[in-house]
Amino acid sequence: MLNQASVEHDIYLFHQGNLRYSYQLFGAHPHTEDGEEGYRFALWAPNAKQVSVVGDFNNWNGSKHPLKKMNDNGIWYGFIPDLKEGTIYKYEILTPHGHLRLKADPYGFSSELRPNTASVTYPLNKYSWNDQQWMKRREKINIYESPTSIYELHLGSWKNIETEVYYNYREYADMVIPYVKELGYSHIELLPITEHPFDRSWGYQTTGYYAATSRYGTPDDFRYFVDQCHQNGLGVILDWVPAHFCKDEHGLRRFDGEALYEYQDPIKAEKPQWGTLTFDFGRNEVQSFLISNAIYWLKEFHLDGLRVDAVASMLYLDFGKEEGQWQLNEYGGRENLEAVEFIKKMNEAIFEEVPNVLMMAEESTSWPLVSAPTYIGGLGFNYKWNMGWMNDMLKYIEMDPIHRKHHHNLITFSLYYAFNENFVLPISHDEIVHGKKSLLNKMPGDYWKKFANLRAFLAFMYAHPGKKLLMMGTEFGQFDEWKDLEDLDWELLDYESHASTLEYVKELHQLYNDMPALWELDHSEEGFFWIDPNNYEQSIVSFARNSRNKNDQLIIVCNFTPEVYHNYKVGVPHEGSYKEVFTSDSTHFGGSGQTNGLYLETKADPWQGQNQHIEMTIPPLAVSFLKRTSSPKEEIE
């Protein structure tokens, strides 16, 4: 039996917006009552006149298993004996207007395979985890000073059996994990796997917030995927969508006949850009629903973080709207004040309940302090996607090199604000879909130059301050843009240029993981300084990356034209010998082989603001990484 005092306290917290584990109260849970085993049900539907649980088990007859209303708190509850795991069910709701509606459970832990839409009974706690070592390590790691490179993954189009027929989460684990691990990534980020009716929404228009989509198997199959990632040293981040939900009839829209999860004001509720509805962030019960949902994925599935989608659309009342589609807030501004307070409350709750996870905001504006703690006025995330860097760099890299000198600021401007937030540098699915071209195919020039540009771009990205994210397929230079209903063009790996690109990304990750200068001070001005940001005529920039150990310093030289320069002078801060530890122009990767094979001795003539300089060969459309050696003569001998 449930403890009545505990239930009443939970209900009080739910209505206050402070029930962080509301999924333990609501939904369908295995239960024993008067010696009978079955499932108990609880639902928030304050406007309903009557609620019943219906399914195949009672021939969808709402008269057989009605729920009872608990006082005036809008909660309906009941117990149905003899129900088993895997039973499909919906709620039959009689609205205030006398209409009967069939709704999936907002707290349903599993769903039928689309196009069917019923919820499915599924217990929370039957999976046995084997990732204890990972979870203990996660408690101690300083993510800010660790190498973080993220592989963005859409399971169904990574590899499938045929169009819209997919492998199981467990089969994906066996295929994906060895591949991503060998490439050297630290994390996998999954596009939303919350249940959604339309494959081509990619999960961003959700109906089942608590259900791992049945396209790929059961919730425990998904737990297995995460468990195996952890056992193989890979973290898992989930794209999470609290900004809006889709309007499908079985979902949250006008759930009990009235606006319940969405704003009652249609001007605030509607997101015309996506044809979806905005959550009512000011409603306490909706806050409990969403905050509990975030904690649910982090706790019940051991996820290592959430990438929160479309944060800007939450923050601004006018986001994606035309004149007449939005109204000013009470102070005459365009900020959604309720959403701002909700975001802060959500992040505070998450870091109290699940410390040391990643909360990454996809926030595309200049809203201040997105990744700062709430106690200093921040939104409370610990990372923000650097959309400014992404837009500038993609605009720059798509230009013919002959024009790049006129837009040199596009590769330098990001360093003016690189340390204002904790940034992730993203090249995500949004940039390589729907006519935008793949990253490789954005590159100008002939076949060789496209691959050289791609290698240079990726090397610059990994040398730039900030954590890294790359969409799947980029690692082997997919020519076609992302095709969401087809799998990746794996056959390209039969061709040398694509196989070499895959090897390049693998070795770039190895360099990245081995060099603390590329990540240890990512979020501190001490971790970076320009050597020469101003050579726009030749489209060359040079800079240094530092770690806490001064001996780990790297000098990075980037050339964004196809010209080769010999005896090019680069200022360096320390006397000694410098070795080229990595170059994107190596013939091993398909480059031209304009490398610096010998040690580069410093000359005591100041240059570019540094006390010393070296002379080196600058390869075409390439990036070179240099490191000072302590005893070069011994190494040569």
Q: List the catalytic residues.
A: 309, 362
Question: Under 8 Å CB-to-CB from 389, ≥6 apart: which residues?
Answer: 414, 418, 423, 425, 464, 466
Judge residue 46's burial from the number of C-beta atoms within 10 Å of its C-beta, 0-12 exposed, 13-18 middle, 19 or more buried.
Answer: middle
Helix crossing, 219-231 with 132-140: angle to 10°?
A: 60
Question: Under 8 Å CB-to-CB from 286, ≥6 apart: which residues?
Answer: 17, 261, 279, 280
What distance in Å separates the CA atoms of residue 544 and residue 574, rounded to the nearest whole number? 12
What distance in Å separates the CA atoms of residue 469 and residue 384, rounded to the nearest whole number? 12
Residue type, 478: Q
Which residue in the block uniquely carries the two structure tokens 């050297």? 184
Which residue in the block uniquely carries the two structure tokens 């360093």? 415
What distance in Å separates the CA atoms of residue 206 and residue 114, rounded to the nearest whole number? 13
563 in helix, strand or coil?
Answer: coil
What distance in Å separates the CA atoms of residue 607 and residue 588, rounded to the nearest whole number? 32
Q: Which residues pair with 276 in a beta bridge?
A: 271
The answer to whether 151 touches 429, Cβ cutoff 8 Å, is no
What distance in Å separates the CA atoms of residue 57 and residue 93, rounded to the nearest whole number? 18
- Asked if the peptide bond before residue 444 counts as cis, ω within 30 degrees of 0, the response is no
Q: Which residues pair with 570 in a beta bridge?
A: 614
Helix (H) or strand (E) holding 559: strand 554-559
The answer to whether 600 touches 614, Cβ cutoff 8 Å, is yes
What distance in Å separates the CA atoms of residue 140 and residue 136, rounded to the nearest whole number? 7
Handedness of CA 321, 324, 327, 328 (dihedral sign): positive
222 in helix, strand or coil?
Answer: helix
What distance in Å separates the CA atoms of residue 408 and residue 404, rounded to the nearest whole number? 6
Which residue in the block uniquely carries the two structure tokens 């759930």? 255
Helix (H) or strand (E) holding 295: helix 284-300
Neighbours of 603 (CB within 10 A): 14
Q: Provide the token pair at 617.
A: 């060969």
Q: Where are the alpha helices (DSSP H) in 464-530?
A: 496-514
What distance in Å separates the CA atoms of residue 416 and residue 407, rounded to the nearest whole number? 16
What distance in Å separates the CA atoms of residue 155 and residue 212, rounded to the nearest whole number? 13
Helix (H) or strand (E) holding 78: strand 75-81
DSSP 481: P
